[in-house]
Structure 1
Amino acid sequence: MAEPPASNLALPRRSLLAALLIGIGLMAAVDEILFHQILAWHHFFDRSTSAVGLLSDGLLHAAEVILLVAGFFLYADLQRSGQLVRGHAWAGLFLGMGGFQLFDGLVNHKVLRLHQVRYVDPLLLYDLAWNGAALLLLAIGLVLLRRARLTSGARG
């Protein structure tokens, strides 16, 4: 039996990737807008002057916009061609959000010490809430991915 044309094949991995980029960009935007701008708890890079901190926030903002645009272009292309796999896309969104949040909480906050969630004592409660939220988002994404793979017959 011949395979259907490529335009009729759903693309679970590409759907996952498109939404993963959107999830990373979305969570970076939430972090930057809420914690950097509205609450003014920290800058992306707090180990220098305010001007450098502001510049680092601008670079983070540019990166998040690039990820959002790239993700939405991929998503729109999949949607237009009928190749979008919604279950994988939802999983990718949550995995991207949780992955960004956990990377930020562990690598940026603890390993590189670029900034902290908030400069208070005790910091532990903020770290637990930050990384706990990340783990919750990742858990939701993994459950959605498992469900999507079962629904689509383990394609991708």
Structure 2
Amino acid sequence: MATTTGEARAGVGQPASIQLPGIVLGVGMGGFVDGILLHQLLQWHHMLSSTNEDHIGVKYYNPHTVSGLEMNTLWDGIFHTVCWLAVLLGLAVLYSRVTHNRLRVWTSRVLWGWTLLGWGLFNLVEGVLDHHVLGIHHVYAGDGQVWWDIGFLALGALLVVGGYLLQRSGRPFDPNAPTRREGRSA
């Protein structure tokens, strides 16, 4: 019985893509950069720090009062938990898909490209949703906050484009391909 090329390939099985785990890792890591840098180190905003001007009617928790900071810190913790779960999920999917030569995946442009793209997607979704649609916080509230929010979106767009181009410049990662040492004959 004759088989088509597509049928023959289906029997061989293509290597599992690292696109999904890379993007999920990027979303989690992008969230951590946002939370650690902007929420904790610079203290520019917290999850609910602009609810006095939000678009959905969330109670205002002034981050400059003890009780307000407690509530904002609680929501920052929930945000960090979601980021942590995204990183764990990304690692678990990556681990399940890359079954051989796992050390090589960490030097793959493809993985780092998808990770940067995921970080950029985090910025775009979180920026549009939290800063513009819900209005629950801004990158840097006050005069000129719209420019900080637009800059956050622009950074996200640059990360998406840069990540896409980086992953395209790499060789597809095949965990079953021999390493350079394994491929050489002695």
Deviation at 1:88, TM superposition (A): 3.9
The answer to whether the 8 A contact 2:25-2:91 is kept is yes
Distance in 1 (CA, whole Å) between partners of 2:158 and 2:111 is 18
Matches within 5 A, 1:59-98: 59-81=78-100, 86-98=108-120
CA RMSD of aligned residues (A): 2.4
Is 1:11 aligned to 2:30, yes or no?
A: no
Distance in 2 (CA, whole Å) between partners of 1:11 and 1:79 is 7
| Larger Rg over CA atoms | 2
Partner of 1:80: helix, strand, or coil? coil
Structure 2 counterpart of 1:112, one-letter code: L
The answer to whether the 8 A contact 1:10-1:82 is kept is no
Partner of 2:144: helix, strand, or coil? coil
Structure 1 counterpart of 2:95, one-letter code: A
Question: Corresponding residue for 2:165?
Answer: 143
TM (norm. structure 1) is: 0.80
The answer to whether the 8 A contact 2:110-2:168 is kept is no
| More off after superposition, 122-131 vs 109-118 | 122-131
Distance in 1 (CA, whole Å) between partners of 2:101 and 2:117 is 23
Deviation at 1:103, TM superposition (A): 1.1
Structure 2 counterpart of 1:103, one-letter code: V
What percentage of residue pairs aligned between the two structures are identical?
A: 26
Question: Corresponding residue for 2:38?
Answer: 35
Distance in 2 (CA, whole Å) between partners of 1:146 and 1:19 is 13
**Larger helix proportion of the pair:** 1
Distance in 2 (CA, whole Å) between partners of 1:60 and 1:70 is 15
Partner of 2:88: helix, strand, or coil? helix
Deviation at 1:147, TM superposition (A): 4.1
Distance in 1 (CA, whole Å) between partners of 2:168 and 2:42 is 36
Question: Corresponding residue for 2:183?
Answer: none
Is 1:26 aligned to 2:45, yes or no?
A: no
Distance in 1 (CA, whole Å) between partners of 2:21 and 2:164 is 16
Distance in 2 (CA, whole Å) between partners of 1:128 and 1:45 is 19
- Give unmatched runs, 5+ long, in structure 2: 52-59, 62-67, 173-186
Q: Residues 51-87 of structure 1: CA distance to partner in whole angstroms, max 9, x if unpaired?
A: 3211110100110110111111222232334596x45
Distance in 1 (CA, whole Å) between partners of 2:167 and 2:115 is 10
